[in-house]
């Protein structure tokens, strides 16, 4: 259930191991593309390579969410429909609740349902268990089995990550866990470690713990960067030296944190738990890096009122065609609040998409005068950018500390990084 940037690679993985896989998705265009033998996602070459043969062999097919023909024959149902937060950072269960009701209506006897979508602790058992039982008329852990297994992969390299990292599994009972372990041992590559934890709740918390750790670590790196900027120290040198000691694993600072995971999943831990103190503070720090960046620019150039500023990279990270919760958006808002004219460029998005996101599209082939450029996503296309490609540029802000500063300084253009 769900053929997005992670769901489709999972389907391809299972089909590649000889299983008959039905992919279900609400997007009819995606379903039609897959049934033609083409990958609707092109950010992972292995998908492009494998999908045609798997579809031709009848191992992989797709149907729409509201027309799940053949669903009742499924021995295992893997649900990876997104759960996100809204503008107030409240959890939105609507799409996955709808998917769960569809699963329940079509569930065969003895089927195993596994949720891979990241969830608040207790959701698998307490929210979806009763929903599945009521909708199917089956009894949990008797003729309906339920488990949670967190996805631990990155978009663009899902199939690789499935081989590299242990698969964590927790069930609502010992039998549900046993069946889930057996499924993954059959569906993943031979030699992949499948590790059962004590419960579905423990497995849910594993994902929240590892994701929130990254957010907290990045927040610490951002605090170090802000301190280093006040002391005229290059924080990248400090972090590299500190991490030469085996107990130090400091991440890298940046203009913000984006994506489906890190800005979202800490809220699954602390939204309803007032005793959580560090995760909400980390979110506040990381969300504030856009404002810090604007202050840094204005310290060097003065007011940005009426000034043209270019944001390079609207995607949430380098070389992905995805902008979910991108830190380009708080950066955009802070620039607009400062009175700047905000341009955007991204090789993965067309001009109309950029306009919908609130950026004036910028054409590097027909460049306009820009006073400040901010690298937000370190796409490979930007890493060797000619400093002269942007006319009128006075300051280049390296929001990912990814660019050789000497190239800009030799061209007489000011350079500043995050904590550099």
In our burial notation (b when 16+ CB lie closer than 10 A, e otherwise), range 161-175 reads bbeeeebbbbbbbee
Confidence class of residue 42 from pLDDT cuts 50, 70 and 90?
Answer: confident
- CA 53 to each of CA 15, 30, 35, 59, 159: distance values in angstroms, whole numbers, following the listed order: 10, 17, 11, 9, 17
| Residue numbers of the domain that contains 146 | 7-205
Residues 393 and 255 in one domain: yes
In a domain, 225, yes or no: no
In a domain, 43, yes or no: yes
Phi first, then psi: give them for residue 246, nearest 5 degrees. Answer: -65, -15
Question: Which pLDDT does position 88 carry in this prediction?
Answer: 83
For range 268-276, the mean pLDDT? 93
pLDDT digits (tens, 9 = 90+) for 153-162: 988 899 999 9
Question: Which pLDDT does position 68 carry in this prediction?
Answer: 63
Residues 177 and 260 in one domain: no
Residues 127 and 242 in one domain: no
In a domain, 37, yes or no: yes
In a domain, 229, yes or no: no
In a domain, 221, yes or no: no
Residues 241 and 189 in one domain: no
- The 8-class DSSP code of residue 367 comes to P
For range 42-46, the mean pLDDT? 88
pLDDT digits (tens, 9 = 90+) for 66-80: 666 667 889 999 999
DSSP element (H, E) containing 163: helix 158-164
Domain count, the chain: 2
Residues 159 and 265 in one domain: no
The last residue of one of the domains, among 205, 224, 245, is 205
Residues 136 and 256 in one domain: no
- Distance separating the N- and C-terminal Cα atoms of the chain: 45
Residues 420 and 344 in one domain: yes
Averaged pLDDT score across all residues of the chain: 95
Question: Which pLDDT does position 209 carry in this prediction?
Answer: 97
pLDDT digits (tens, 9 = 90+) for 319-335: 988 899 999 999 999 99
In a domain, 219, yes or no: no
Overall pTM > 0.75: yes
Percentage of residues in the chain with pLDDT exceeding 90?
Answer: 92
Residues 238 and 307 in one domain: yes
For range 175-200, the mean pLDDT? 97
For range 360-384, the mean pLDDT? 96
Residues 124 and 260 in one domain: no
Of 35, 61, 173, the closest CA to residue 113 belongs to 173
In a domain, 411, yes or no: yes
**CATH code of the domain containing 22:** 3.40.50.720
Question: Which pLDDT does position 71 carry in this prediction?
Answer: 78
**The residue to which tokens 């040198």 are assigned:** 237
Question: Which pLDDT does position 67 carry in this prediction?
Answer: 66
Question: Which pLDDT does position 397 carry in this prediction?
Answer: 98
In a domain, 47, yes or no: yes
Residues 106 and 178 in one domain: yes
Q: Which of 125, 167, 207, 251 is catalytic?
A: 207
Residues 33 and 139 in one domain: yes
Q: Which of 261, 310, 354, 370 is catalytic?
A: 261
Residues 137 and 286 in one domain: no
For range 361-382, the mean pLDDT? 96
Is 199 a catalytic site residue?
Answer: no
Question: Which pLDDT does position 146 carry in this prediction?
Answer: 98
For range 2-27, the mean pLDDT? 95
Quote the CA–CA distance of 337 and 294 in Å, as a whole number.
10
Is 207 a catalytic site residue?
Answer: yes
pLDDT digits (tens, 9 = 90+) for 79-123: 999 998 888 888 999 999 999 999 999 899 999 999 999 999 999
């Amino acid at each position: 259930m769900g053929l997005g940037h992670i769901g489709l690679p999972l389907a391809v993985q299972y089909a590649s191991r000889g299983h008959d896989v039905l992919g279900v998705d609400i997007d009819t265009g995606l379903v039609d593309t897959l049934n033609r033998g083409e990958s609707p996602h092109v950010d992972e070459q292995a998908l492009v390579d494998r999908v045609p043969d798997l579809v031709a062999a009848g191992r992989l097919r797709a149907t729409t969410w509201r027309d799940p023909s053949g669903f009742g024959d499924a021995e295992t149902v893997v649900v990876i429909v997104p759960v996100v937060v809204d503008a107030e950072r409240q959890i939105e269960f609507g799409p996955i609740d709808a998917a769960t009701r569809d699963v329940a209506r079509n569930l065969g006897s003895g089927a195993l349902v596994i949720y891979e979508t990241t969830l608040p602790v207790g959701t698998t058992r307490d929210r979806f268990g009763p929903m599945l039982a009521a909708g199917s008329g089956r009894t949990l852990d008797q003729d309906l089995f339920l488990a949670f297994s967190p996805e631990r992969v990155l978009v663009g390299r899902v199939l690789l990550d499935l081989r590299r990292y242990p698969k964590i599994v927790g069930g609502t009972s010992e039998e549900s866990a046993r069946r889930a372990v057996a499924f993954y041992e059959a569906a993943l590559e031979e030699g992949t470690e499948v590790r059962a934890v004590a419960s579905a709740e423990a497995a849910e918390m594993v994902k929240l713990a590892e994701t929130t750790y990254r957010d907290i670590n990045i927040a610490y790196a951002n605090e170090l960067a802000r301190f280093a900027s006040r002391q005229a120290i290059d924080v990248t040198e400090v972090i590299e030296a500190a991490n030469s000691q085996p107990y130090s694993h400091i991440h890298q600072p940046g203009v913000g944190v984006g994506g489906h995971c890190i800005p979202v999943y800490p809220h699954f831990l602390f939204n309803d738990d007032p005793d959580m103190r560090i995760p909400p503070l980390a979110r506040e720090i990381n969300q504030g890096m856009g404002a810090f960046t604007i202050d840094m620019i204005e310290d060097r150039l003065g007011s940005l009122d009426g000034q043209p500023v270019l944001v390079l990279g609207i995607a949430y990270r380098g070389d992905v065609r995805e902008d979910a919760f991108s830190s380009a958006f708080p950066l955009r808002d802070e620039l607009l609040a400062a009175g700047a004219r905000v341009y955007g460029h991204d090789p993965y998005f067309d001009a109309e998409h950029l306009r919908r996101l609130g950026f004036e599209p910028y054409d590097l082939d027909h460049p306009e005068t820009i006073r400040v450029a901010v690298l937000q996503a370190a796409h490979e296309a930007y890493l060797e950018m000619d400093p002269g490609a942007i006319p009128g540029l006075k300051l280049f802000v390296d929001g990912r500390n990814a660019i050789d500063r000497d190239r800009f300084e030799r061209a007489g253009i000011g350079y500043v990084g995050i904590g550099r």
